Amino acid sequence: MIRRIAVTGPESTGKSRLSKELAAHYQTSFVAEYAREYLATIKQAYTLSDILQIAQTQFELENQAEQEAQNYLFVDTEFLVTKIWSEYCFKTCPAWINEKFLTHRYDLYLLCDIDLPWEPDPLREHPHDRAFFYDWFVKELKTNNLPFVVIRGSGKERTNNAINSIDEYFSDK
């Protein structure tokens, strides 16, 4: 059985790096954040239909990666991210994303804390709103009774905190 672990949270919280490092540690697959690849190719502001396309492709990539995963599959960004982003930017969320958020479960969510410094990036938009988004993630995870742990620390400490959290969470399962 493959355990799916979502690495989630606001912008610039180390999700991509953490996903790669966890996959390397556990010698398994990870799914990179497709939104970065997609948004780098469009020449205009993204739309609600772009967010839906990103979520659908991310889901396809996740299902493909599961075929090669060993014990765990790490997913950098998932339906909670696209749901929050859609609701924030467009005040609505496509029904398909909402349905997948409610039905496509992860065995554990690693919520990356905002304790890392903001790193500017052309695709990042809200450097001063990370606390707002972090609180939104916590609220959604709690409201939907989803299993999550908060990951803090920087560099190797952050990775080790995630490894310890994963090992502890699955030790009796």
Using CA atoms, how far apart are residues 135 and 124, in angstroms rounded to an integer? Answer: 18
**Confidence band (pLDDT; 50, 70, 90) for 122?**
low
Using CA atoms, how far apart are residues 35 and 53, in angstroms rounded to an integer? Answer: 9
Residue 121 has pLDDT above 80, yes or no: no
pLDDT of residue 133: 96
pLDDT of residue 39: 84
Pick the closest to residue 61 from 47, 49, 46, 78 (CA basis): 78
**Confidence band (pLDDT; 50, 70, 90) for 120?**
low
* Average pLDDT score over residue span 94-121: 93
pLDDT of residue 124: 63
The structure's pTM equals 0.94
With beta carbons less than 8 A apart as the criterion, state whether 3 and 108 touch. Answer: yes
If DSSP states are collapsed to H, E and C, what string results for 113-127? CCCCCCCCCCCCCCC
* Average pLDDT score over residue span 11-33: 95
pLDDT tens readout for residues 64-106: 999 999 999 999 989 999 999 999 999 999 999 999 999 999 9
pLDDT of residue 154: 93
Residue 45 has pLDDT above 90, yes or no: no
Among 4-8, 31-35, 37-41, 69-73, the range scoring the smallest mean pLDDT is 37-41
User: Could you give the domains of the chain?
Assistant: 3-170 (3.40.50.300)
Residue 40 has pLDDT above 90, yes or no: no
pLDDT of residue 34: 93
Residue 165 has pLDDT above 90, yes or no: yes
Q: Cα angle vertex 108, ends 160, 167, to 5°?
A: 40
The three-class DSSP label of residue 78 is: coil
